[in-house]
């Protein structure tokens, strides 16, 4: 009896850390009991009509099933799609843009590039701020930061009156050369606060003070467009957590793979637009390092999209220009490529009788036909059911039961239009989905200059394991690694992520001995800014400051990112900086000019504050063949074949079996084609090796 009391007391005093990620169909939970290392995971269907309600449902289910105590939660990390969905659905705040007189077309002109240069019918997206909501203010700052024309405050007052009359809720202020001197933007913001305090205002320099007015303006516009919905969502989130007695203050995953607190999230909303996709890659990076995998191609398939990223040396790759809906994001973010093919992607026959898949998705409501929630259109998930790969266990931790007849009915309607058998139509849907992913991955590999045959594919998300092995086979990738809980890798990413803030200074100077003091001064200012930011986030331990520079040869119109050592600046080692640039240029473009003059455009700094360490227990391998739970009939494209079905819970480290096979588990189903050897490693990852 005393032992039971002690066990109950230990359970009640457990230190819980919870990561949460909201996708298009499910919200994922990954909860770690830090004292014992026990991990609990869960999926709950999203509630688009009431974002955040599913969070409370999930916490209640964790308490019911796992003994989770919200009052003992010491860390809560949250990734959300509220911001990106606001942009995709164009449900953001009505905004006005105050810019220099004569530059009112900055948003519409953009970079004069069409989305698809090979299409005669493509068109650029309508801007988030219509032309009638753009107001030119007589004001001018020179490129050197000196003021040639003082901002006309009478014009500002008139623009405020007009913006109010046209229904604006917020104002974006973006002036020329604010990256050099933000005084004019600040003075106009102060005037708006004085004359119309009901407006929220963001200036381009405070959001992302980078050279090039379009990039600076568009980033500030994205921030303002989502601000009311994101801020309102986070406020409601804090109140809901407080009502459940959660002591931990919420942290948010960022597009750069790091974390920030909710207070900053309400202000710097643009930093969390890609939080879900980024945290998935961060979770995969952690799993790759744990397993000793050096090169990983991630495949994250949810209900609406498939996302791809490269992990090299155990680290995620970063970049700028990732698309948020139809608009580029110009702040540093984990480099992810996406395509509108997910488990809920709808298959259809177009006017020419051609079978197509996506980008429209059935989402969570009504969802695929096989969910039995009212969906009638065939989806990728329905095709998996018809072929026999899916539908042999409950889905999403028992929340869904697959309705096989409904899947056959939905796919059957397409089959009748195409004049094909139902199974062949289902296989064609899967083949199209894989081929569309293949094209996108090939683009990613070409841009990065890598040979995918050297990589291991890591599928995750609810749909990644369903199609991952088939994609790997088409790409010529010989190894696939599926984590123990692939359905909640994005939620795990929140638990293993560090605090990370990105800061930038545009210096725009040639690289030389004489310019080095200015570059060093910019770095020192950024280092102070980074340390101050970490302190504001509550981080008091040592910080990691990473220096990067955007550099180019004089005459080039684009820059490349080069990692530099701060010691090179301190020692005045220009030769080392030049060499680093030449090597990166050679790697990316297969050439460099050793005598070319180099120009340094931006100095950037990433300030990282490490989070609490996390580790999962390991188990010795037994090296024994796995016993299947039963046999299944599956249509593999060659016809109906009998394959083994394995329960993931019965697979132990060292278990081996061969494909074709199906592995079922609470959060996903792993479809394994013929010609593969499967083995479970000591971290409970399922490893596939394709025969030569």
What are 416-429's pLDDT values in tens digits?
Answer: 999 999 999 999 99
- CA quadruple 626, 632, 633, 637: dihedral sign: negative
For the chain, what is the mean pLDDT? 89
- For the segment 97-121, the average pLDDT, to the nearest whole number, is 85
Report the chain's C-alpha Rg in angstroms.
26
Would you say 361 and 124 are in contact if contact means Cβ atoms under 8 Å apart? Answer: no
pLDDT score of 601 more than 90: yes
Please name the residues in contact with 375: beta carbons below 8 A apart, sequence gap of 6 or more: 362, 366, 367, 368, 369, 406, 410
Between the CA of residue 287 and those of 277, 468, 611, what are the distances in Å? 16, 17, 16
Q: How far apart are CA 609 and CA 498, in angstroms?
A: 6
Most confident of 309-323, 398-412, 419-433: 419-433
* Closest by Cα among 115, 143, 31 to 77: 31
DSSP H helices, 540-673, are 566-571, 574-589
Separation of CA 557 from chain center: 28
Least confident stretch, 70-84, 185-199, 656-670: 70-84
Please write down the long-range contacts of 589-592, taking CB distance under 8 Å and 24 or more positions apart.
Answer: 590/449
Would you say 553 and 614 are in contact if contact means Cβ atoms under 8 Å apart? Answer: no
- For the segment 177-204, the average pLDDT, to the nearest whole number, is 96
The pLDDT value recorded for residue 656 is 94
Please name the residues in contact with 226: beta carbons below 8 A apart, sequence gap of 6 or more: 82, 83, 86, 87, 92, 93, 269, 270, 273
- For the segment 445-457, the average pLDDT, to the nearest whole number, is 90
Give the tens place of pLDDT for each residue, 497-521.
999 999 999 998 999 999 999 999 9
The pLDDT value recorded for residue 613 is 81
- For the segment 163-175, the average pLDDT, to the nearest whole number, is 97
The pLDDT value recorded for residue 168 is 96
Strands 327-329 and 333-334, by their bridges, are unpaired
Least confident stretch, 92-96, 483-487, 531-535: 483-487
More confident: 480 or 394 = 480
* Per-residue exposure over 278-301, b if at least 16 CB sit within 10 Å of its own CB, e if not: bbbbbbbbbbbbbbebebbbbbbb
DSSP string, 207-232: H---SSHHHHHHHHHHHHHHHHHHHH
* Closest by Cα among 181, 180, 203, 179 to 190: 203
The pLDDT value recorded for residue 10 is 41
The pLDDT value recorded for residue 186 is 97
More confident: 327 or 381 = 381
Q: How far apart are CA 654 and CA 603, in angstroms?
A: 49
The pLDDT value recorded for residue 13 is 55
The count of residues in the chain is 692
DSSP label at 256? T
Q: How far apart are CA 453 and CA 150, in angstroms?
A: 59
- Can you list the positions of beta strands (E) in 86-231? 95-100, 134-137, 140-141, 147-149, 170-173, 200-203
The pLDDT value recorded for residue 360 is 85
The pLDDT value recorded for residue 397 is 74
The pLDDT value recorded for residue 24 is 66
Q: How crowded is the C-beta side of 206, counted as CA atoms within 13 Å?
A: 17
The pLDDT value recorded for residue 6 is 40
Q: How far apart are CA 286 and CA 311, in angstroms?
A: 10
- For the segment 48-57, the average pLDDT, to the nearest whole number, is 77
Secondary structure of the chain: what % helix, strand, coil (to 5)?
A: 35, 25, 35
Least confident stretch, 245-249, 378-382, 416-420, 685-689: 245-249
The pLDDT value recorded for residue 667 is 86
- For the segment 380-409, the average pLDDT, to the nearest whole number, is 88
pLDDT score of 1 more than 50: no
For the chain, list the domains and their CATH numbers.
90-230 (3.40.1360), 499-609 (3.30.1490), 624-690 (no CATH)
The pLDDT value recorded for residue 622 is 81
Least confident stretch, 12-26, 267-281, 514-528: 12-26
């Amino acid at each position: 009896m005393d032992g039971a009391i002690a066990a109950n007391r230990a359970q009640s005093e457990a230190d819980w850390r919870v990561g949460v990620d909201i996708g298009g169909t499910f919200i994922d939970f990954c909860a770690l009991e830090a004292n014992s290392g026990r991990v609990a995971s869960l999926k709950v269907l999203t509630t688009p009509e009431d974002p955040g309600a599913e969070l409370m449902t999930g916490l209640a289910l964790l308490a019911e099933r796992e003994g989770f105590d919200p009052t003992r939660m010491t860390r809560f990390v949250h990734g959300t799609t509220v911001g990106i969905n606001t942009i995709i659905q164009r449900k953001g705040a009505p905004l006005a843009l105050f810019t220099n007189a004569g530059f009112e077309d900055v948003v519409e002109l953009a970079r004069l590039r069409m989305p698809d240069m090979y299409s005669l019918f493509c068109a650029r997206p309508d801007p988030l701020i219509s032309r009638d909501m753009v107001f030119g203010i007589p004001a001018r700052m020179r490129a050197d930061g000196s003021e040639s024309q003082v901002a006309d405050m009478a014009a500002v007052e008139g623009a405020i009156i007009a913006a109010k009359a046209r229904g604006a809720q917020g104002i974006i202020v973006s002036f020329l050369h604010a990256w050099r001197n933000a005084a004019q933007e600040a003075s106009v913001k102060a005037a708006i606060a004085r004359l119309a305090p009901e407006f929220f205002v963001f200036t381009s320099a405070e959001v992302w003070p980078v050279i090039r007015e379009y990039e600076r303006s568009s980033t500030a516009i994205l921030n303002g467009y989502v601000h009311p919905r994101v801020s309102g969502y986070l406020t409601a989130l804090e109140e809901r957590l407080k009502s459940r007695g959660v002591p931990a203050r919420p942290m948010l995953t960022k597009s750069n793979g790091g974390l920030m607190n909710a207070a900053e999230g309400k202000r710097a909303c643009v930093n969390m637009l890609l939080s879900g996709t980024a945290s998935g890659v961060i979770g995969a990076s952690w799993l790759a390092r744990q397993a000793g995998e050096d090169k990983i191609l991630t495949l994250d398939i949810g209900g609406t999209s498939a996302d791809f990223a490269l992990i090299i040396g155990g680290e995620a790759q970063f970049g700028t220009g990732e698309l948020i809906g139809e608009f580029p994001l110009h702040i540093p973010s984990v480099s992810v490529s996406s395509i509108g093919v997910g488990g809920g992607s709808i298959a259809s026959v177009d006017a020419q009788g051609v079978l197509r898949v996506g980008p429209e998705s059935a989402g969570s409501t009504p969802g695929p036909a096989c969910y039995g929630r009212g969906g009638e259109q065939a989806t990728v998930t329905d095709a998996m059911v018809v072929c026999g790969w899916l539908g042999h266990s409950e889905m999403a931790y028992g929340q869904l039961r697959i309705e096989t007849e409904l899947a056959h009915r939905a796919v059957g309607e397409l089959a009748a239009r195409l004049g094909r058998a139902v199974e062949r139509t289902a296989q064609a849907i899967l083949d199209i989905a894989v081929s569309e992913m293949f094209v996108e991955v090939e683009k990613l590999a070409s841009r990065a200059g890598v040979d995918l045959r050297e990589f291991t594919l890591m599928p995750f998300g609810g749909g990644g394991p369903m199609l991952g092995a088939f994609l790997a086979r088409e790409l010529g990738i010989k190894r696939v690694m599926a984590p123990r809980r692939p359905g909640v890798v994005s939620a795990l990413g929140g638990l293993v992520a560090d605090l990370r803030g990105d800061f930038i200074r545009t210096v725009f100077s040639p690289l030389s001995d004489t310019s080095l003091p200015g570059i060093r001064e910019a770095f020192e200012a950024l280092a102070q800014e980074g340390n101050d930011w970490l302190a504001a986030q509550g981080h008091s331990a040592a910080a990691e400051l990473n220096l990067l520079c955007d550099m180019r040869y004089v005459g080039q119109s684009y820059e490349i990112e080069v990692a530099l050592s701060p010691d090179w600046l301190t020692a005045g080692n220009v030769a080392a900086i030049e060499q680093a640039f030449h090597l990166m240029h050679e790697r990316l473009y297969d050439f460099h000019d050793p005598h070319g003059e180099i120009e340094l455009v931006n100095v950037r700094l990433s300030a990282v504050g490490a989070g609490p360490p996390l580790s999962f227990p390991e188990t010795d391998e037994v090296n024994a063949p796995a016993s299947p739970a039963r046999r299944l009939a599956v249509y593999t494209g060659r016809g109906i074949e009998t394959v083994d079905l394995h329960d993931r819970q019965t697979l132990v480290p060292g278990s081996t079996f061969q494909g074709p096979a199906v592995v079922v588990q609470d959060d996903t189903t792993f479809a394994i084609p013929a010609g593969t050897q499967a083995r479970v490693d000591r971290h409970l990852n399922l490893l596939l090796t394709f025969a030569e």
